[in-house]
Each structure stands twice: as C-alpha cells, then as structure tokens.
Structure 1
C-alpha cells in the first residue's frame, strides 16, 4: 500500500500525530473553563478543584517516560488508542460525577494518564523514528500543536459552556476524540519497518537503531538511572524545570489574576493569553527550523535569556493605559515553548534517537514538576505579599541563570551504536 503512494507514508503518520496532539491539548485546556461552572454547581472551593488539576499536571509529566517505554514495547498505535480511550472515558464520566474525589479520579488520574500518553514524548518518538531529515522543524510543528489546540478549543468551549452548559462542552470534545480514535486505528503505523520502508531521508547503508523492546517500566527506570549519571541530563532537565515554572506554572496560571490585581478586565487578560498562543505557533515552528541549522545551545541561551529579561520587566508593564502588556504577550508568546525543538535535539544527540522518547519524557517530567511548583509557589507569594511582582522577578532571574548554564552542556555524543542496530538497505 505505502509503495503506491505518491509520497512517503511518514507524512501521514506525522499528520495523524499532529491532530492527536491538537485534540489532547484541547482536553488539557478545559480545566480553566470548568473551574467556575463546577464551583457554581457543586459548591466546591477553588483549592479542591485545583488539586485535581494539579494531579493531572503531574501525571501528564510523569507518565511520559513510561509511555515512551510502552510505545517501544507495544507500538505507537496501541498506546495512542489506550490514551485516547482514557481521555474519552475520563471526560465523559465527569458529566455524572457528584463528589470532589470523583473529579480527582476522573480528571486528575484518568485524564492525566491519557494526556501523558498523547504528549510531547509521542511527537519526539514519531519524529525520531520516522524521519532522518528536518527533525527540528517537524518537532517544532508538533510542539506548536499544543498552542493550536488551545487556540481552536478554548474560544469554542468557553462559548459553548456559557450558552449550553459545561456538560455540552464536554460532549463536544468527546465527539472529536471519538472521530480521532478510528482515524488513529486505521492510519497510524508503528515504524517504517512495518511497511518495509526506510525513515524519510535515510539512505542505504545508514545505521537505523531499533527501539528497545523489553519491560517498559524497567526500561523507564533504567533510562532515569542512565540520565542521572549524565551531566547533560541534569542540565537539560533543570532547564526544562525552569521552562515549566516560567510558562505554564507562572504566566499560564497567574497572568489573568495578576492583570485583575491591576484593574485589567479578565476578558482582556484572556485575550493576552490567546495572543501568546498565536505568537507561539510562529515562534515554535521557527525554532524548529532554526534548530536544524543553528547551534542548539546558542538557541537555548537566547530563549531563556530573553524570557528572563521580559519577566524581570513585566511588573512595570501592568498599566491599563499602555500597550506594554500587548508587547509582552507578543514577545513572550514567540518564546513560550520555543525551547522544545533544541532540547529534543540535544537529548537525541546525548542519548541516541532510539532512546529520545524515553529520555525526553523524563526531561518533560521535570518541566511539569516545575509547572506545579511555580503554580503553587506564586500563589503563596501573592497571598503573603499581596502582589505577584517578586514571583515574576524570581522567575526572570532563574531564566537568566539557566541561559548561562546552557553552555555547560556537552555537544559530544554519549551514544554508542547499539547491538540491535540495522543497516538501511
């Protein structure tokens, strides 16, 4: 079948993955819309609802390396099907929940596990398994799908929730997931070898590493142990901890209430986040293109350094009568997750393409831990000090320190040709 196509089948796999990540991002964007309706209907306080969201965020990150191991052992398609099934089941069952512990189980655990199986580790695995060329650009495109999902789903879900109720918004997402599920089942393939193909861009005689196929849980823990012995791993994981803290954890969670503290309406504040997401599409795809052509350490130095400077200046931008916040949204949006493509490239350089999904999964886990830490920590600072200024300043300073630390990453490959490697023929 694949040999009769006028193009390489890898592009079909990429498209299916792209739409899977878009829909998964849409699911992850829903808590921001559901908090107020759940408060109103069930009388739960915001901290109780936020706990379920925190569980979701942590599992989304921690599941990643184990999901990568499961993909190596059982194949991409099966794990994607399991993840999508968990997402559908979890969000549909929330429509009949009655207690807060059910929200924790359904949204925190089930949706957390499902979203972790349809996350950036999936994109990293697909790109490094199906492509030899254009990896940076393609990883940038898949990473940008997160912003695309939020831009597409957030306005629709917010409008539907306001007009028809939150349950109808949930049903709409479930329908989209239900359409995606058979698409993955029919079109998704585990590897080029399954279709008797070479990865896109590979030539005869190239070494094609085969993914490990042992116990996925043992492999995930072994990967963590291997990473802990590598200076590069700690530098990459530490930088991604700060990345998560300064984006999802701080700006993504607290930007709207910070604007409200300065008399800026919530609608305008939400519009700033949407503008960031739109700019993120351009920035992340552009970062992917650059990561194929420019030293990845220089890119990360620029991204973290510029992000740090913007956060250090942010407290002076909260003026309802000026355009400083709009300028911040554009500048910050371009840099939002532009760090992903060069980080994936350095991870692959250090540990090898056959391990990149699992090793990057652990790096993403640190990202989510940073997100959770900043979300909680910034809330404490706001409660005790009455403002977010020090939270933004601290995050900015940490980004600047991270930018400098990037140059300590070694560009010397730690990869050895594995025994199960094959020669492309």
Structure 2
C-alpha cells in the first residue's frame, strides 16, 4: 500500500504485484522509492515460510499500478533488500539469503558480486555512503561487509562491458602517506577489521580472465617509466594500489646485512602521469594527476620539492655506491681467478695483497661481518640508508641537520669513488706486468 496525502488514504497494490509473477500474499521485505523519479519504486518480497525460496524483486514505474518482476539465472535465495545507487539510476543492488547481486542496466541483466564477498552471504541490508562511495552490507552471521568505492560501477555500461579491457577514469591522487595511524587488536582478544585505504586505487575492467601476466605501468608526463606494478587478471573489476613512489634505487650488494633502502623509494612530485596496460598486444592508457596534499600544513609544495631533491641525491648516491662496490668486486673476481693460475710465488703473494686491500676497502663501504639488522656495523651504505629511509618517510620539511647529514654522506661517496679509482690504478700498475709474464691478463 502507499499514500500520497500523509497517511489519510491508502492505495492497495497487492493485486497488481501478483500479476507480475510475485507469489500472492508474499511478505514485503523491503521498499526502495527512487530518488530520480517519484513514480518509480522498487521492492523485494519473500515467501520462504511456505517453502518458496524464489528471488522475488520488482519495479513499478507508475506508482504501483503495474509491476515488472526482475529475473536472472544468477539469482539464488529469497530476497531481503534492493537498493538504488545514489548517483546512477541504472545501478541496482539486490541482497538475498544467498548472496549479493548487481545490475548496471536498471535490472535488465544481473550478475553475482563475488570479489571478496562470500558466495552465500545472507545480505539483510544495503546502504551506500554518500561521501566515500562505499557499499555497506549488513549480513546475518557474517558481520558488516564494506565494498570500497563503487564509483567504477557507476560508469560500467554495457558498452564498457563489451571491451576487452577498460581503465576507469582515475581521480586526482593526493600525495600523502595515509591519514590513519597503526593499531592492533585489543589485548582482550577482540578482532578488528582493517581501515579503508587512504590512497586512491587504480581500477580496471577485464571482459575475460587474462591468460598471461598483467603489468600496470605508471609513466610520467614525458613517458618515462616511474613504476611497474603487478596487476590482477580476474574477469570483471580489478583493483590495485600505487604507493605514489618511483622504482627503488639500485643498492650496493654483497654485504651480510639486509638493507631496506633497496625496497623503498621517494614519493613522486605533483604533475601529470598516466596508467598503461597492455593486453593481447594492444596498449590501453589513461591520464591522471598527482596533486600536492594541501591539507598538510607541515609541508608546502615548495618544501616538498626541496625534500624530493635531497631524496634524489641520496637515491643517486646509493646507485653510485653500488657501482663502486661492483667495480671492486669485479676486480677481486679477476684477481681470485689469477691467483688460482699463478705459479710464481712472489706474484701470487702480490695478487693476494691487493685482493686483501680491495676487501679492506669494500668493508668500509657496506657491512661485511655482522648479519643481524640490529648489529652495530654501520658502514657507508648503512649511513646513506639511515638518513634516506627517514627522509623518504617524512611529510615535513627537511631540517638543517638533515640537510647537513645529506651533504656528509654525499661527500663520503665522492671520496669513496676517488679511493676506488686510485686503488684500481695502483693494482693495475703493480700487477699488470707481473701477470703478463705468466700470460694472464688483469
């Protein structure tokens, strides 16, 4: 029944509902008036008390005078709730005793929503957050389920659904490291779910499951690769996250301790970027903007640029040190191979002496003795990483002391390059002729 005069009179539409194929005298489990057309109303019905578990859901576009029942081979379980989207009138959600279903064409076609939603979730209520665009499900026995940001579904038309791959328009991405602090479950043993991601996800649609790997490339305005991200290849909507950083720098290897600078990189600067995905030889891309977080009062855009510049100096210092260490290791490898072949004891001793000199120099560049990350063996690589990991993880302006620390390690790397050049020159000068006598090249 419905009223148009505040409850003074009522119109019974039960007979009209039954004409649409709904079981007579079924319980009305939910009513959803359209926010786009006052003549349109959606409703769900259930008749399971009489052994009828069919999915009854219908729409009337003339204030209940006539009804059209939704049908789909996907449906299972009696219906609890139907919900119209707040923005797209053609996007509908239907919760039943055995799952969640959606339609992007006003109910003509339906599909089961599966991505991290239990197949047989007993969906009793559906709400849509007006600000975060999240789909919120109230279930029986499975708690509250939140589907983050359904904006891509609002643009998922039949035209898009027929494309092999479609990258949804990417909203501006704000440069920040998250607005929610860390936390843990209560010590009483309770359970808490994770917070919603602070970084805007990259979302794309696949008509069919991809056969090979999907790689998502982030490129800058000049087309230079910023970062490559493994992508999902499932049929339907896929969501991945870019950490707003570039590819980590090359870090000196061959030490005994793990150096986490090899796993981290500076945040990029505000500007124009693009998302690129290749599928079956065809390249798909879409542009987007990275913007400065204006809500951060501790870091202006100019200060962000200063911080970035110093981070990049350390980034390049790591790469320079990696080249120095590689050069030393390569020379050591040549000397080791020569020592195994040398017959002249004096020449062999000379080669061993220079191998040890190179090793002594290498041990000043990175940890070569202690294996624990907590061990007190801080060499040049660790010195760079100490200041580098702090700076790339902060969202405040660089301090004078931090600036001085950057200068100090940059100077040390430059000195190391000079020491390497001098040591290799000395090694070549002393050993080259001695090795040549035994027909061994240095």
Q: Which TM-score band (shorter chain)? A: under 0.3
TM-score when normalising by structure 1: 0.25
| Structure (1/2) with the larger strand percentage | 2
TM-score when normalising by structure 2: 0.24
Which of the pair has more CA radius of gyration?
Answer: 2
Larger RCO (CA under 8 A, 6+ residues apart):
1
| Structure (1/2) with the larger helix percentage | 1
